[in-house]
Structure 1
């Protein structure tokens, strides 16, 4: 999105897309952590690897999305500025801007 096509509505769409992506990645992260070592190794190995693969794809897509345009980066920066200094997601999200 270039600066000529910027509208308040497009900013809302960016926010929604970013929040949905973050929600999906955080959900997958929590679900992956629920697997114990026995499930990861033997019992639910396929399911575990599928979830890891899906999370990796989500991370890659989000990273590409954020780095695809200045508006996307500015929106993420604005979201980060709203989070308190010690918020755990602040560090996690900052990694996508580096």
Structure 2
């Protein structure tokens, strides 16, 4: 699990943050945070799944990624917004997708 200081409060993330990457499954937004490290937030809304346990499962999967060592910058907040098509992926497809996204970002 990602340490608390490395997680960004989603409700405080600015609405005008720039989109770094967008796909059919996720959107990644970035914003400078003024700290010495990157922070990560994952947003999974009810459109993805009505089941809270499934949404939390997806959130934990993405939080376990090491997005703190990205090419984005040294002090950025990253917000990953999951889109509804991601719920149809199997566990293996999700793992492969996470590796692909980690390399892109």
Q: TM-score range by the shorter chain?
A: under 0.3
Structure with the higher fraction of residues in helix conformation: 1
Q: Larger relative contact order (C-alpha < 8 A, sep ≥ 6)?
A: 2
**Higher-Rg member (1/2):** 1
TM normalised by structure 1 equals 0.26
